[in-house]
Amino acid sequence: MKLFVVGFPKSGTSTLHTALGKSGFHSAHWHVGDRYIGELMYKSYFRNGDPFPPLLRQFDCITQADVCIDGMNYWPNLDFSIYEAIRKSYPECKFLLNYREPRKIVDSICRWNNLQQRLTDATIPGLPAGFGGKREHLLRWIETHFAALDAYFKDSPNYMTLDVESADAPIRLGAFMGRPIQWWGVANENKKTSAAAG
């Protein structure tokens, strides 16, 4: 495994997946066939301590591992115990924070179908069930995770924060991955304009 993305949904994960795929990396995003990546990772981790089962080891990158739908609720991308296991078993694996300004992430979450309600109903690292219905809950959750990542990965050459909306994002990503990024744009754009209350 070359790269594991450790940020939030609605933060350019589809763009990263597309850009990496068009640049020669074998990237997995959210699911592999009918199997959710988050579920696969936790089952493998609790079976033998390795969060990447054979089905996932065929990929170079995982750009979105969380799933919170249809009774499934797994968030290895926000779980520091999973980071520890990856660093132990795959010391060359890089970690990427797909950064967007937190208020923009909150706005996108609130506009994306019923995602805000699903987050509020679920228990997620840093966001217990019953929280998330207010924007300030989501904002604190996101900002605290960003700060925790900076502290945990301090001075690590295998960690980078990438502002997915910055003009130099593909150049910085290519330098980090050691290969030029051949495409950059906006994939899976959230076009809904009316925001949820809260």
Can you tell me which residue has the tokens 């959230």?
190
What global pTM score does this model have? 0.94
What does the pLDDT look like over 31-73, one tens digit per residue?
999 999 999 999 999 999 999 999 999 999 999 999 999 889 9
Q: Is residue 18 domain-resident? A: yes
CATH code for position 86: 3.40.50
Establish if 195 belongs to a structural domain.
Answer: no
Number of domains in the chain: 1
Question: How many CB atoms are closer than 10 A to CB 7?
Answer: 28
Going from the C-alpha of 101 to that of each of 2, 3, 7, 32, the distances in angstroms are: 26, 22, 12, 29
Does residue 90 lie in a domain region?
yes
Tell the burial category of 75 from Cβ atoms under 10 Å away from its Cβ (0-12, 13-18, 19+): buried
Q: What percent of the chain has pLDDT over 90?
A: 92
Q: What digits encode the pLDDT tens for the residues 62-111?
A: 999 999 998 899 999 999 999 999 999 999 999 999 999 999 999 999 99
Domain enclosing residue 146, as ranges: 3-177
Tokens 């010391």, residue? 91
| 190 within domain boundaries | no
